Amino acid sequence: MTEGPGDEPGGETLQHARAFVSFSAALMATDISTTTTELPESRVRVQAEVGPGELDRRMTQAAKVLARNIRVPGFRAGKAPPPVVIKRVGREAVLDEAVRESLGSWYRAAIDDARVVPVGEPDIDMTELPKEGEPLKFSIEIGVRPKAQLGEYKGLEVGKREADVSDEAVAEEVDRLRERAAKLEPVERQAQRGDFVVMDFKGTLDGVAFAGGEGRDQMIELGSGRLVPGFEEQLVGAKAGEERTITITFPDDYGAEDLKGREAEFAVTVNEVKRKELPELDDEFASDAAGFDTLDELRGDIETKLREADDNKVEAEFREAVLDAVVKDATVDVPDTLVEARARELWDRMLHSLGHQGITRENYLQIAGKTEDEIIDEARPEAETVLRREAVIAAVIEAESIEPSEGDILDALQSSAAREGTTPEKLRERLDKAGRLDDLREDLAQRLVIDFLAENARAMTAEQAKVREKLWTPDQEYPTGIEKPIWTPGS
């Protein structure tokens, strides 16, 4: 793409004006056409052509924005008509600016028009800007979702475990309730592991106080591991009113760079020692903690909720197992380049999510103790699995002509519409105008595929599945890891 000249008549600089040019991402090109050529290794080349009308519209928009930052004799600031701005700044410069700001939306429009599902970053090539009245042409090379050749996908037998809630799991939930209802009572004795110590402390490095090294009335549970290694252990045996000097060495991977590996000394005053007292496990506890008349009722309620949660988990596991069984029976060619691209996409999504939590890329890499390449390499198996699943789901959608109904769409929007204080119909209209309705349709279609596959699968118990793994016929490869395979004629 050519650069616009730095200075045009009048001395205005486009570099300064460029910062003020911005178009809405929802403004999608309508005058665009594409031709698609399939390339090896699940890649395509999309030749895109943007019509002169669309170019003129975008140039007009760019000229209106540029008009705010240039002076044109005879016109008030920002009021010069686009043709005048284009003549003063130069057509090529304005077109260059329009292309820079519009290429993203043209790319999305071209991908939509070509009906491909991109994977990874595109290579976009634009050789030159068009002359007036001519279309703008550019090409896109990008990896796309691989295609799957389906095997058997109906009537597959898949293992499905029974929901189970153990007495231990119920007891653990009861213990959590007791922990939340526990009280801390001061004691006049030496602190023990599991006690809580309320203390003041002041830390120094070579006799000099350091930032973050001082605190008052801080409470810590001995043995919790919340403090620097060695700190809590040196408080065991302390009593209220006692003063102690604690020496520790900050770990080499400590968060503060200036403290890593350094020895520090803390002057500690123990203000209180408290013991955690758990409530008695009786009917009174059941009433106070959860409003039940008896402890048996509380346990029964916990068991019911745990079973409901495990039922949902069993169903989710079964649906995933069915999909993976269909994937296993399908043929999907997934090139390494595509796996690499999807692994990087997964990493980018993680960084985006971490950013919302205030965690930077550098912070995460430091916490993980790994390089970016190591993390991406570890993501490759997941990336390949995701690509195979997506390919199979797309193939089933096509084979079974699965498409969400209008009712499915409105049902899916119910909760979001309620949160936003609107109706599903109005929310649907907003998504349609923003060009996001197709994304919702695709997401719903994928869910419908999983529903379809699960409904058409036959669930086996865990015992049946284990037996099925041992079935073997003489024409099959001898199964490894099985001492005595069972041969069943015709199986």
**Each residue's pLDDT tens digit, 414-456:** 999 999 999 999 999 999 888 788 889 999 999 999 999 999 9
Least confident of 195-209, 257-271, 360-374: 360-374
Strand partners, 149: 331
pTM over 0.75: no
Measure the CA–CA gap between 341 and 433, rounded to whole angstroms: 31
Q: Which of 21-35, 95-109, 272-286 has maximum average pLDDT?
A: 272-286
Measure the CA–CA gap between 254 and 228, rounded to whole angstroms: 9
pLDDT of residue 90: 86
Residues of the chain with CATH 3.30.70.1050: 14-144
Radius of gyration of the chain (CA): 33
The CATH number given to 183-277 is 3.10.50.40
Check: CB of residue 268 under 8 Å from CB of residue 231: no
* pLDDT bucket at 145, cuts 50 / 70 / 90: very high
Write the pLDDT tens digit of every residue in 15-59: 333 333 333 333 444 588 999 999 998 999 999 999 999 998 998
Q: What are the CA-CA distances from residue 301 to residues 19, 171, 178, 285, 389 (Å)?
A: 61, 12, 16, 14, 38
Mean pLDDT score of the chain, rounded to an integer?
86
pLDDT of residue 22: 33
Least confident of 23-27, 271-275, 304-308, 429-433: 23-27
pLDDT of residue 471: 53
- Beta carbons within 8 Å of 382's beta carbon, 6+ residues apart: 343, 346
Q: What are the CA-CA distances from residue 185 to residues 176, 188, 196, 232, 277 (Å)?
A: 19, 10, 9, 20, 7
Q: Are strands 148-149 and 331-332 parallel, antiparallel or unpaired?
A: antiparallel
Least confident of 91-95, 260-264, 345-349: 91-95
Any idea which fold 14-144 has? Alpha-Beta Plaits (3.30.70)
Q: Name the DSSP letter for residue 249.
A: E
pLDDT of residue 476: 52
Give the DSSP H/E element, type plus range, for residue 66: helix 52-67
Residue 269: closest CA among 218, 227, 196: 218
Q: How many CB atoms lie within 10 A of CB 24?
A: 8
Q: Average pLDDT of 293-306?
A: 95
Above pLDDT 70, what percent of the chain?
88
List the structure tokens of 25.
């991402």
Q: What are the CA-CA distances from residue 121 to residues 43, 74, 323, 343 (Å)?
A: 11, 47, 28, 12
Residues of the chain with CATH 3.10.50.40: 183-277
Q: How many CB atoms lie within 10 A of CB 438?
A: 11
Q: Average pLDDT of 374-390?
A: 94
For residue 72, the Cα-to-chain-centroid distance in whole angstroms is: 49
pLDDT of residue 367: 81
Q: Could you tell me the end-to-end alpha-carbon distance of the chain, in angstroms, rounded to an integer?
A: 63
pLDDT of residue 2: 36
Check: CB of residue 116 under 8 Å from CB of residue 38: no
* pLDDT bucket at 488, cuts 50 / 70 / 90: very low
Check: CB of residue 158 under 8 Å from CB of residue 322: yes
List the structure tokens of 438.
């197709």
Q: Average pLDDT of 219-234?
A: 93
Helix (H, G, I), strand (E, B) or coil at 477: coil
Residue 342: closest CA among 332, 331, 353, 350: 350
Any idea which fold 300-486 has? Trigger factor, domain 2 (1.10.3120)
